[in-house]
Amino acid sequence: MTKKPFRPDVDAPVYKGPYVPYDIIKEGAIAVLVVFILTAALALVFSSPDEKAVTIKTWSNADAVDFAQTAGDELAGTSAVANYGAPYNNNGTSQHWGFLSPEKWIGVRIQINTTNDFVIDPLSAQPAQPALSAALSQWKSASSATQTAWDDAFNKAEPNLTYSNGKVNIPTKAAGPIPVLLNYETQMARSGALDQALVTQAGFYTTNFTKPLLFVSDGTYFAGLAEKQHLSGSQWGMMNETGQYPGQAWLWLYTFWYQIHPYSTSASADFLVWGTMMILTALMVLVPFIPGLRSIPRKIKIYRIIWREHYAAKL
Amino acid sequence: MSTDIERQWTSRIRHSVVDKLPPDKLLPDTQPAYVASWIYVFGVTTMAALGVIILTGIILALDGPQWWHSSTLGHFVNSMHLWSVEIFFFAMVVHLWGKFSMAAWRGGRSLTWVTGAVTFMASILAGFTGYVSQTNFDSQWIATQAKDGINSTGGGAFFNVLNLGQMLMLHIVLLPIAAVALTGIHVVMVRMKGVVPPFEDATTEVSA
Amino acid sequence: MAQGWGLGALINLDHYGHYIHWGVIQVSVGNFIVMVLMVASFLAALFAPFPGRRNRKGAK
Ligand code: HEM
C-alpha cells in the first residue's frame, strides 16, 4: 500500500467482500453454443448478399457509350485515374492539410499510365489487323503535341459519341487515330478480351486487380450501380451493404465526417477525415490516461445500475 | 543447494508465470459478489463470436475464395461467416460501453483497456479486408472507394486495397493471427488482475 | 442465390434497401435495426436481474 492520494478514476478500491461461485468455463460454453445457433439461424433465414462482380465485358455490353467515353478519357489522359496523382502517377494535386501531404511524400509506387496501360498496350497485344496496326503506329509515332491536338478534338466530340451497329461513332475528323483505336478497344471490351489483357499484364499468375478496378471505377456505369444500392460516399454508403443487409455499422463515425463541412467540400476530404479519425482513435485507446475523459463514467453513474446489488448490500 | 536450478532461465520463467497467473487465477471458480450483471457476458460473447468467425472462415478457406459463389453449402457457410461478424462487432461494442461505464481500467488495468481498443482496430481492419476479398460487386465498390482514404494517408502505396492477393492474405492469415493473439493477451490480463471492483465513495487505500 | 438444398434465404434481403433520412443523417434500415438492438441489449444488460444471487442480502 502506497501513501499516494487515492485517484478515483485511476486507482481501484480494495475489495474485502464475499466471493461467490461462478463457472466461467460453463459460461463460455453456453456463449459458444448460443452464438453458434444464432449465427446458423440468421444465416438460414437471411442468407448473405452476393451481387455479381462487374466486368469490363458486362459494362461495355450494358453501356457501350459510357465505356467508349471512359476509354477515350483514359487514352486522352483526362480520366480521374489519369489525374489521380500519388501513388499512381504525378498528374494530380495530392491531398494535403497545410504542408502535411504524406501521399506526395511517399510518391508514385503503383505506376499507372492510363494511356498505355488501359488502351495502347492491350490493343498492341491484339492479333495484327491492318486498320488497328495502322492506327497504333500513327499514335505511337506522333509527337506529343499532335497527340494532344487529337485528344482535344476527341474531348470536344465526346459528349456526342454514339454506338450503333457494333461501331463507336465520334463526330469529328480531327481526332487522328482515336476513333479507330476506340472502336477496337470497345470490340475488345465487349468480347471479354480486355478483362484478360488488363490482368495478364503482370504475367501468367495474377491476384492483382488494380488496373481493371481502376478502369471500371472511372466509368459512370459502375458508380450508377452503386448509387442504386445506396453505396456512394454522400449516401453514407461506407456503412452500407448491397440489398437490405446490415453493413459495417461500426464505421458510422468515419462515414459521418464526409457529410459535414469542412470535410464535405474539401478536395482533401479523405486526408482530413483520416486525420480526424486517427486522433479520435488515439483518444479512445488512451482514455485511461486522459484526465477529464476518464472521469466521465464516474460522473454519469451508469455503474450504479451495474453494481446495484453490491451497493444495496452495503447499506 | 538448488541454486543452480533456481537460476535457470526455465525455472525463472516458470516461477514468474506461476506467480503472476497461478491456475486458480487463470481459471477461478469464484468471482467477487459484485460480478452480478448481464453486462459481464458480452466479453465472453465476443470471444464466442470470434470462435465462430474463425471456424466458418476455416471452412471457407478449405475450398478457396471462389467456392461460395457457386455452391449452396459454400454460400451458407459464407452467410454464417458474415452473421458471426455482425454478432462479433455487436457484442464487442456493447462490451466496450459496459467497460467504459465501469471505468474498468482502474487499479492497474489500463493495459487491459488499451489491448481491448487495439483489438477493436485490428478487427475493423480484418472486417474491411474481408469485405474487399469477397470477389463480387460489393468488394469491387468498397475497394475502389476505400483506396482514396488510404491513399490520402500515404498508406495506399504499401497497402493496396485493389490487390486481391494482398488483401486476402491479410484477411485469412495475418489479421486473424493478430486478432486472436490480441484477444489472448487481453483476456490473460483480465485474469491476472481480476475483475475491477466497484467505485466506493470514500477510499484512501490504494490497491496494487 | 440458388436454392439448392434449402440453404437459400427464407427471407430474401436482396432487394434494394430502405433508408432513413434525418437531416444530414442517412442510415439503411438494416443498420438502424442493428444499432437499436445494440442499445436495447445494453439497457437490458444493465437492468435485467442477474440470476443466481439468491441469498446475497445477509452476505455482508
Ligand atoms: C475481440 C474483442 C474483445 C474480446 C474477445 C474481449 C474479451 C473480454 C473478456 C472475455 C473479458 C472478461 C469478461 C468481461 O468482463 O466481459 C474482457 C474484459 C475487459 N475488456 Fe474486453 N474484449 C474485447 C474488446 C474490448 C474492447 C474494444 C475494450 C475497450 C476498449 C475492452 C475492454 C475491456 C476491459 C477494460 C476489461 C476488463 C474488465 C474488468 O476488469 O472488469 N475489450 N474482455
User: Residues A97-132: pLDDT tens digits?
Assistant: 888 888 888 888 899 999 999 999 999 988 889 999
Between the CA of residue B49 and those of A196, A232, A248, B15, B185, what are the distances in Å?
39, 30, 16, 34, 17
Query: Is the backbone peptide bond immediately before A87 cis, with ω within 30 degrees of 0?
Result: yes
Q: Are A11 and B106 in contact (CB under 8 A)?
A: yes
The answer to whether residue B141 sits within a structural domain is yes
DSSP A120: I
Of A79-88, A132-141, A159-168, B195-204, which gets the smallest average pLDDT?
A: B195-204
Of C59 and A81, the one with more pLDDT? A81
If phi over 0 gives left and psi between -120 and 50 gives alpha, with beta otherwise, what is residue A238? alpha
Ligand 1 centroid, distance to A307 Cα (angstroms)? 17
pLDDT exceeds cutoff 60 at B75:
yes
DSSP A95: P
Distance between CA B124 and CA B71 in Å, rounded?
Answer: 28
The answer to whether residue B203 sits within a structural domain is no
User: Which of A213, A206, A205, A215 lies closest to A185, judged by CA?
Assistant: A215
User: Which of A136, A141, A245 lies closest to A185, judged by CA?
Assistant: A136
In DSSP terms, B30 is beta-bridged to A21
Distance between CA A175 and CA A166 in Å, rounded?
Answer: 20
Atom of ligand 1 nearest to the CA of B104: 35
Contacts of C19 (CB under 8 A, 6+ apart): A230, A235, C26, C27, C28, C29
Per-residue exposure over A106-115, b if at least 16 CB sit within 10 Å of its own CB, e if not:
bebebebebb
Ligand 1 centroid, distance to B56 Cα (angstroms)? 23
A233 — pLDDT class (breaks 50, 70, 90): confident
The answer to whether residue B192 sits within a structural domain is yes
Per-residue pLDDT tens over the stretch B145-200:
999 989 988 888 899 999 999 999 999 999 999 999 999 999 999 999 999 999 99
Q: At B142, phi and psi to the nearest 5?
A: -60, -40
What nine digits make up the cell of A234?
Answer: 454522400
Ligand 1 centroid, distance to B114 Cα (angstroms)? 10
Residue A307's closest chain C neighbor by CA?
A: C46
A254 — pLDDT class (breaks 50, 70, 90): confident
Neighboring chain A residues of B151 at a CB cutoff of 8 Å? 86-87, 95, 103, 270
CB contact under 8 A, A242 and B47: no
Q: Are A311 and A301 in contact (CB under 8 A)?
A: no
In a 10 Å sphere around its CB, with 0-12 CB exposed, 13-18 middle and 19+ buried, how is residue A28 labelled? middle
Helix, strand, coil % (nearest 5) of chain A? Answer: 60, 5, 35
Q: At B198, phi and psi to the nearest 5?
A: -65, 155
Domain count along chain B: 1
At A163, which helix (H) or strand (E)? Answer: strand A162-164
Atom of ligand 1 nearest to the CA of B117: 30
pLDDT for A93 equals 79
> Mean pLDDT, chain B, as a whole number?
93
CB contact under 8 A, A259 and C24: yes
B73 lines ligand 1 (CB under 6 A): no
Can you tell me the ipTM of this complex?
A: 0.92
The answer to whether residue B208 sits within a structural domain is no
Residue B163 belongs to a domain with what CATH number? 1.20.810.10
CA geometry: angle at A10 spanning A4 and A13, to 5°?
A: 75
The answer to whether residue B104 sits within a structural domain is yes
3-state secondary structure of A253: helix
The answer to whether residue B206 sits within a structural domain is no
Q: Are C53 and A309 in contact (CB under 8 A)?
A: yes
B178 lines ligand 1 (CB under 6 A): no
Atom of ligand 1 nearest to the CA of A285: 30
Per-residue pLDDT tens over the stretch A173-182:
999 999 999 9
Residues in chain C with pLDDT values less than 50: 1-6, 55-60
pLDDT exceeds cutoff 80 at A87:
yes
Q: Is the dihedral of CA B2, B3, B8, B11 positive or negative?
A: positive
Domain span at B155: 37-197
Q: Which stretches of chain B are assigned E, i.e. beta strand?
A: 30-32
Widest CA span of chain B, in angstroms?
Answer: 71
Per-residue exposure over A198-225, b if at least 16 CB sit within 10 Å of its own CB, e if not:
bbeeeeeeeebbbbbbbbbbbbebbbeb
Distance between CA A256 and CA B93 in Å, rounded?
Answer: 18
pLDDT for A5 equals 87
Between the CA of residue B73 and those of A44, A244, B27, what are the distances in Å?
11, 22, 38
Contacts of B34 (CB under 8 A, 6+ apart): A15, A17, A307, A309, A310, B195, B197, B198
CB contact under 8 A, C53 and B75: no
Distance between CA A163 and CA A169 in Å, rounded?
Answer: 6
pLDDT for A3 equals 63
What separation, in Å, do the N-terminal and C-terminal C-alpha atoms of chain C show?
A: 60
B208 — pLDDT class (breaks 50, 70, 90): very low
pLDDT for B108 equals 94
Ligand 1 centroid, distance to B24 Cα (angstroms)? 20
pLDDT for C6 equals 46
The answer to whether residue B55 sits within a structural domain is yes
Q: Are A305 and B131 in contact (CB under 8 A)?
A: no
pLDDT for B2 equals 63
Q: What is the separation of C-alpha C19 from the centre of its chain, rounded to a whole number of angstroms? A: 17
DSSP A158: G
B118 lines ligand 1 (CB under 6 A): no
CB contact under 8 A, A53 and B36: no
pLDDT for B168 equals 97
The answer to whether residue B21 sits within a structural domain is no
Q: Are A214 and A15 in contact (CB under 8 A)?
A: no
pLDDT for A128 equals 83
Residue B156's closest chain A neighbor by CA?
A: A87
CA geometry: angle at A285 spanning A280 and A287, to 5°?
A: 90
Q: Highest mean pLDDT: which of A256-260, B72-76, C30-34?
A: B72-76
Contacts of A233 (CB under 8 A, 6+ apart): A258, B145
A270 — pLDDT class (breaks 50, 70, 90): confident
pLDDT for C60 equals 36
pLDDT for C55 equals 47
Give the mean model confidence (pLDDT) for residues B108-118. 96
- The count of CB pairs under 8 A between chains A and B is 284
Of A251 and A146, the one with more pLDDT? A146
Q: Report strand pairing: B30-32 vs A167-169.
A: unpaired
Q: Report strand pairing: A19-21 vs A162-164.
A: unpaired
